[in-house]
Structure 1
Amino acid sequence: MIQIRFGDNFIYLETNKLIPSKELLENVKLSHKYHQIVTSIESLGIIEPIIVFYDKDKDAIKILDGHLRVEALKDLGIEKAPCILSSIDDAFTPNKQVNHINVVEEHRMIIKSLAKVSIEKLSAALGISIDAIKDKANVMNGIDPSVIAKLSDKPIPKATFDVLRKMKPIRQIEAVGTMINFDNYSKKFAMSILDATPASMIINKGKNTPYKKDIKKTILRLEQEMATTSEETKKLQTEYGSDMLKFVIIQSYIIKLLGNSKVLHWFLENEVDYLNELKRISKINSLDDKTLAENSQS
């Protein structure tokens, strides 16, 4: 049974009561990263909550993740911080499960922020260029809403959305279903799906180069050949099973004959060549046995 390790809601705790669980590096407040955090909180407020653990033995609230954010809040004179309470004293799990922001979540955060502040102010707060912010804000353009919902918690790179955007909505949904089944969200995998996509399911199909058309023809041909080969293999497996059953019955009868001394003496006196062949057959383990191959060549 899976146990919930975090609270369902934010709780607001006084920053001066949050105890660090590790020592901060000396002069960390002079770093670019710390300055960026301060500017971001000052402009937009805190985006990622602080992960804390209540240590009953010490009657203290430990910071598991968000030490620099807490320091920034203190320096800005903000007395309370939004926190998520963890049921275990473990810093790895919060980092992995709570604070990981993927492309979809980042996009939503940017859109939400742009509704409150100008792009220039957001650029200064996050320490990234205006063009980069525009790129993050537009990354979901041309992507079907149901696809965005399915990928909201998946580790998908931005480049994969560039590939999905070339497909029509129904094909996007099919492609994402395949990605989820294979747990593969890479651009290369998305490109392989795009290359196997019929021209009718691609946006701006007229812009395809002859090279890309040749690739698609080759892939479609290979898929057809694989389907044909698969059918032939199934047919051979069925026939092999039937032939193997017949062979086992015949072989059992031959072994029984050779075990009869009267029959064996008759072959020795009258048909030695046949006897040798029957002995070979009695020693065959399967239809592809080397003994059978030698027999067919003799």
Structure 2
Amino acid sequence: MDKTKMKKVETFASIFGEDHSEVPSEKTDGTTSLKLNDLIPFRNHPFKLYEGDRFNDMVESIKQYGVIVPIVVRKVDDKYEILSGHNRVNAAKEAGLTEVPTVVKEGLTEEEATLIVTETNIMQRSFSELAHSERATVISTRHSAMKNQGVRTDLLNEIEKLSKAPNLASEETFYPMDKKLRTHETIGNEYNLSQASVARYLRIDKLSDAIKDLVDDGKIAMRAGVDLSYLSQENQEMVEAIISENTFKVDMKKAALLRKHEKEGNLNWNTAQKIISGDMLKSTGKVKPFKLQPTIILKYFNPNDDKKAIEKTIEKALDFYFSQMKNQSHDIEEGEEMIE
């Protein structure tokens, strides 16, 4: 075969590099410079961007060395959508740069583009460092890729090698469904999560963005978010509005009650507000436990008296008391009739 006609294979590692490397790569094949004004962020970018010292350190590094690792983009109309490098772009702007080295990827499906976004973020930050909503995005994207027979295995394998996560994108995960490893178990093994936790994060990913923010902020408990994920988008928006308006928190009991009322078809604003405020839980009719003060017990009984005997005596006393009250009330009513 004529070597001049051989298609050049571009490795994923050459695209993304190692963010922790202090030595710029000498390979510039496949890279180009793009103006920062021509770049747009990935739509609904699911990760929180760097702030504070971490961002300032990146700015100082770029001022000194420039952007060492090229960002990755795809063309969208007359702009370029960032797939990897949102923090580098923001820091480059702050550092006063007007252009950044770039790799333009073509022919990506939406799933593959999202996979690049999530996997390159997890390379730069540990999974435990991510917020709940960010973890949910990573797990959901990986879960979808592993189940989809049409996803490009070469892309997954390159990401796999770069992220140093063994066995996650191995060949056995792309066998027919009856021979596949259980995706929950496989993903759980990589991120040190139980299968139940993986399932919960897959549910969290189905929440609206506003509800996800409340989970991240601790206003909604993680497991409560799982129940809320079963609500319709319209009811999720209603719940978010009630929580934000009144700074309420939602625990598992409240979330389960909201889900129950929606399932029964009677979840509306008033009902949701009563549940979220806690008023409905207060009026469930449950009798709160009541205890007599020790001083009252000691007034009529000896410390060594049998507990059951004391309870029986109190019960008899109360029966006598209420019967007397009933007779007294009856006598009063008869006296009023005689007066009339």
**TM tier relative to shorter chain:** 0.3 to 0.5
- The structure number with the bigger radius of gyration is 1
- More RCO (CA 8 Å, sep 6+): 1
